[in-house]
Structure formats: C-alpha cells, structure tokens
Structure 1
Amino acid sequence: MGSSHIAGTLRAASILLKLDCGWDWFIALSAKDYPLITQDDLSHVFSTVKRDLNFIDHTSDLGWKEGQRIQPIIVDPAVYLARRTQIFTATEKRPTPDAFKVFTGSPWVVLSRSFLEFCLFGWDNLPRTLLMYFNNAILAEESYFHTVICNSPEFKNTTVNSDLRFMIWDNPPKMEPHFLNITDFKEMVKSGAAFARQFGQDDPVLDMIDEKILKRGQNRATPGTWCTGRKTWWIDPCSQWGDVNVLKTGPQAKRFEESITNLLDDLNSQSNQCQ
C-alpha cells in the first residue's frame, strides 16, 4: 500500500541496467497477471515499435483519488525494514501540490529504458523531487511514473495510454478487477491484449490458456523455435537451446499486432496526451 513497490521497481531496473543495457522495455508484472501471447509474439510485434514509447495508462482527472490517494500522508516501514509491515497513516492530510500536476492510472506499466534511465539517473531534479513526495503517498505506483513522465518536457509525448491488459471492472471500479474464469476466455482471446489479470490460484482457465494459446506443457516453458530438443512426452524440448533470435509467432500475434497498431494510430490524439 506504500512506496516500497516503487522502490522495488526502481531497484530492479537499476540492476538490469548494470547487468546489460541492451534491453528496450521494462514490463511490470505481478503474480496475478498471466500472458495471452508468447514471448515470440511480444518480441515480434514490439520489434516494429519505437523504442522510446511508454505504455502507461494515465489521467489527470483525479476524482476520488485526490482525497484518498494524493492528500493522505503515510509512512511505509517496508522502505526501511526487510520484513513486511503495515503502513502508518497521519491524522491530517496535505494539500494537492501546485508545483507539478499530479497524474494517476494503472500501476501496470511498460516503460522504456530511456525513461527509466531518466528516473534513476535524474539529470534534472524532477524524478527525485516526485520520489520524495510519493514516498509518503498511498499506492504510489498508481501515480509516480505517471506524474514524472507527464511533467517532463522530454518524455511527455512518448506516452501510449494503455497498460496492454485485459481486465473486467465493476462500475464504478473497485480496488481490484474481477477474477477471470473460463466464461471469460473468448473475450480474452478477442481482446488483443498482451496480459490478463486477475486469476485465482490454479484456476482451470490458466490451463486453457496454456493449451490453446501458449501451447505450453505442464511445468514447462512456453516453446519457441529456439527449443531444439526432442519432442517427446517425457523430455522438454526447451531443455536444449538453439538461436534465441529466431521467432515463431503464435495465433495471438496478429490480434496483438492489430491492437498495437490501433494504439499507435491514436498516438497523437488527445486520449494519449498528458492532459
């Protein structure tokens, strides 16, 4: 509920930059997300996307979040302690800042390497200033990256207003979307989304996605052309690797490509701009 989520994301990105600076996007996932496309599908479609784009669902229409997310003051002990613990909430609230415009949206983002380098290395004070502010905000992952990118002249025109996920919400939306099940499978397939959330543990619809979309065997990786081992029921062909740069797209690649194309066609529209 506090800012330790942001701290973990920035820490992970910094480690990836130290290990290898050749990656293009950082995809935030949780244990309640599940892919609707293969890794080959994702690599194939994203190979045609400009590398500086950020897929981040955002809005400046704060609504009820202003009083319940932005103005309350909290302390997240998990930022300072190794063990998980409850947040502390102050009795008074703070006014909404006027030094920058606050944006909010989905915490599930796909961020470019160049934008994360800006957040980590901070060649101006904006990311650092906003990190200090959102360090004491509830569910900071719903606002931090959104506010940084939309207040940055360098990056505010790189936003694609989508989190690339299939979700079913109540109206008005509650804290979390509905749990998905087999009755939602056809709608998931047609959505052209990269991921879906949220799922119950061991829900049968996960097996259906494995079988019909990912072509994934039980307790095995999603196969690709790089899997060069023998194809038998007791040997995982992905236990032996070939050329990982050779891609074989699956049945969802075309739907995902159409979805991305539609999003990019609207890139300069009002719905994608930081307003």
Structure 2
Amino acid sequence: MPQVANGGFPATERKWILPLLASFAISFILIMAASEEFMGPFYRIFSLRRSGFDSRASTAIIKGPGRPAVLAYVITGTRGDGPKMKRLLRAVYHPRNHYLLHLDRLASDEERVQLALYVQSVRVFNVMENVNVVGKADTVNYMGPTAIANTLHAAALLLRLSNNWDWLFTLSAVDYPIITQDDLLHVLSVLPRDLNFIDHTSDLGWKEYHRGKPIIIDPGLYLSRKSEIVYASQKRQMPDAYKVFTGSPWVVLSRYFVEYCILGWDNLPRTVLMYFSNVVLSQEGYFHTVICNAPEFKNTTVNSDLHYLVWDTPPKPEPHYLNLSDFENIQQNGAAFARQFQQDDPVLDKIDSVILNRRKGQLAPGGWCAGKYSKRRNSCSDLGDINTIMPGPRAKLFENLILTLISNGTFRSNQCKFQ
C-alpha cells in the first residue's frame, strides 16, 4: 500500500497516505493527519478493503542479466502542480518501478493531501506499494542550492524505500514521456547498469563569471518560507582542487553513483556540495562536478539528459513550451522525455493517443496489463506479469539514440574531458 515518505525515517513510521474518502471527510483528515495514533489503525482497516488482484498476477520483480531494469523516479512540483504530476505519473507508471512525488513548501497541505488521496485511489499503486508522496515538504528555490538539497533528500529516501532499483530519473511537473516505459525498460535492459546519463561540459564560458564566481545565499536553507536568493558584494576564485562542470539539471543516475553521493566513501561529494551551497543554479553543476572529478565514475558518463528540448532565440533560462506545432518533431525524436509543457496542452493529448496509447485519466498500457487494451476498457486496471515487456516501434528510435551516444570506440576512456 502506498505510504508517504517523511524526512529520514522509514516510510512505515509515517502513515501519511490517506484512504480515498468522500469530500466531506477531507477537512477532518487534514486536522487529524499529524496523529500517527489515529492514522495507523485507519490505514490498516482500509487497506484490507482494497486487497489485491487476481492470484494469477505476478508481482515479484525478476532481475538479472538481460532482464528489464528497475527505475526510480523523483517527480517534483510546486503550488498548483498537483494535476500535472498526476498526469505525468499515469504516463510513466510501471509496476516494476518506484516513484517519489514531492510538492514543495509553496504548495498547501491540502494539495499534498489531495495528491496522496489520488495515489491511494489507484488499485495498482496499492498492490505494488511503489508510489510514495513526501509528507514533510522541502523549501525549493530553483535558483539556489535548495534545489539540489531536495534532489539529494529524494535520492536518500528512495535508497531507504527500495534496494532493487538501477537508475534514478529526475523529472518535474512540466516533463512528459515520448516513449512508453516498455520501450525505455527494453533498451536499458541491455546496457551496463553503471552508466550515468548526464549532460555535461567543463567549458563554462560566461557561466564562470556569472554563476561560478558569485557568492549567493539561499534563505530557503534556514527559513521556512521561500525567498529570493541574496548576492554577496564580492566574487570568489574558481576552485583549483577540482574542475567545475556544468550542464542540464535533469539527470539519470546509476544507483551506485547515487550511493556514492549520499554515503560518500570519500570526501569529494561533501566538499563539492559545500562549494555549490553558495552557487547560482547549483543543480546544473553539482552532480556533473562530482562525477567528472571522481576517478571511479568519470568514465561512466553518457553526455545526454535523454530529453527533447526546443530553445527560444535568444535562449531563455528554460526551453520553449512545446505545443501541437512541435508534435511532428517530437514524434520523430528518439529521446525518452520532452519538456516543457503547459497543463493539459493539446499536444499532450496527441502524445497520449499516438505515442503512449493512453486513455484520458488512465495508466499508460504495457506488457504488464492483464487484458488486451481497447478504447472502451482500460486493461491496466488488471495486473498481469510485471516482468513482461512489450516494446513498440519507438523503442528502435530510442535504441538508435543510445547507440549514437555510446558508439565512440573510446567511450569508456574519453568522458568528462577537461576543456
């Protein structure tokens, strides 16, 4: 049954995921949500009523050479992003994977509860117990280090929640998949599990003066409310103990590298984190700098964030919002995800119907669905064998992208080049 991960404690100690109730009961739950004594027995009684699927369903994850990967997703959002996060979750869900949803502190407690109520209402999520909602929200300012602190917090929670995932994917509410999970799992199943997909460069250019040298303070590190970052009057020298790298903030990290950043069997991850705690847009440099300065990991990088992006001219801080006029290019692209999208933009409906074969309000179908999918019935309300993968034609597009990225004959010895 889904639970809410809270702080550094095991999810089983915080029964924040609430059962689906009639609307008149929501106010009562909001008042009582902090009481573990109340929520514990209520959670257990309700879970018995929502017990599992047909006994023929296979819910045990089978791992091993040639088997599909197991993915962990961090999906983040802010005030008003609940509907977008639900839609994204339905589009990327697969019973083998793990999902952690985080609405930052700008969102209200009611928004978090509504998100938890939705998770509780989906039968597959209850049986697989693989969708979790963060109950104690972090303050997140994308411009400051609270963003990377939130990602590290989420990664630590996912390490506690499961010991069997292979890669960590970071997504936000404005992302959307442009291949199915079966396509993604099929291609990743043949790749070494130590690879890290992280867009990176050491050629900082203008970023050195405008991002590397300025000293900033993010009040979100010590205030409960979100505030604008504060710039110091002086600048500092760039580090010479390690080389700074930068790139896309959206990363796909191997479990082994995530453990290195969280557990840190040498001091590099913590040392680099101290520097980036005062850097603008630290999420665009922290993982990149750690991985490219760690001899154990620098040759595991694939220089891509696996996203399809369209930048305005001149470039803005975020890529262009995609719409129906972009669909043909989206369809021809081999990336796994695209960004960014407005809520319920018609292009998302097009992606659902043409690429994901997903009905409105339903989970994207895959080989794990017990019945044959049709426009009249959502077969994914029934659970089949979660180890069955049925890739479609877009898997070949994604495979071609991966082959292009790793086709260099010196791939393992030519990454993270210092420029």
TM score, norm. by length of structure 2: 0.63
1:101 aligns with 243
1:53-75 alpha-carbon deviations (Å, 9 max, x no partner):
10001001101111111111111
After TM superposition, the structure 1 stretch with the greater mean CA deviation from structure 2, 250-259 or 42-51, is 250-259
Q: Which of the numbers 176, 180, 203 marks the counterpart of 2:345?
A: 203
Q: Which of the numbers 11, 15, 20 marks the counterpart of 2:153?
A: 11
CA contact (8 A) 2:365 2:373 kept: no
Q: Whole-Å Cα distance in 1 between the matches of residues 322 and 373 of structure 2?
A: 32
1:266 Cα deviation from its structure 2 partner? 2.6
CA contact (8 A) 1:74 1:136 kept: yes
1:37-95 alpha-carbon deviations (Å, 9 max, x no partner):
11111111100111001000100110111111111111112233343222222121111
Q: Which of the numbers 363, 369, 385 marks the counterpart of 1:221?
A: 363
1:120 aligns with 262
The two structures, once aligned, show a CA RMSD in angstroms of 1.7
Matched, 1:176 2:312: no
Q: Which of the numbers 202, 207, 214 marks the counterpart of 1:65?
A: 207
2:223 aligns with 81
Matched, 1:263 2:405: yes
Give the 3 Å change call, closer, same or farther, for CA 180–267 of structure 1 in structure 2.
farther
1:167 Cα deviation from its structure 2 partner? 0.7
Q: Whole-Å Cα distance in 1 between the matches of residues 408 and 249 of structure 2?
A: 22
Q: Whole-Å Cα distance in 1 between the matches of residues 200 and 374 of structure 2?
A: 47
Unaligned runs of 5+ in 1: none
Matched, 1:273 2:416: yes
1:129-159 alpha-carbon deviations (Å, 9 max, x no partner):
0001101111100000000001111101111
Q: Whole-Å Cα distance in 2 between the matches of residues 83 and 274 of structure 1?
A: 40
2:75 aligns with none
Q: Whole-Å Cα distance in 2 between the matches of residues 261 and 201 of structure 1?
A: 33
Q: Whole-Å Cα distance in 2 between the matches of residues 16 and 68 of structure 1?
A: 34
Matched, 1:21 2:163: yes
Q: Whole-Å Cα distance in 1 between the matches of residues 308 and 254 of structure 2?
A: 21
2:232 aligns with 90
Q: SS of the counterpart of 2:172? A: coil
Aligned residues: 275
Q: What is the one-letter code of the residue matched to 2:283? A: E
Q: What is the one-letter code of the residue matched to 1:146? A: H
2:389 aligns with 247
Unaligned runs of 5+ in 2: 1-142
2:253 aligns with 111
> Which protein shows a greater Rg?
2
1:110-138 alpha-carbon deviations (Å, 9 max, x no partner):
00000111101111110000001101111
2:197 aligns with 55
User: Alignment identity in percent?
Assistant: 59
CA contact (8 A) 2:322 2:339 kept: yes
CA contact (8 A) 1:181 1:203 kept: yes
1:168 Cα deviation from its structure 2 partner? 1.2
TM score, norm. by length of structure 1: 0.94
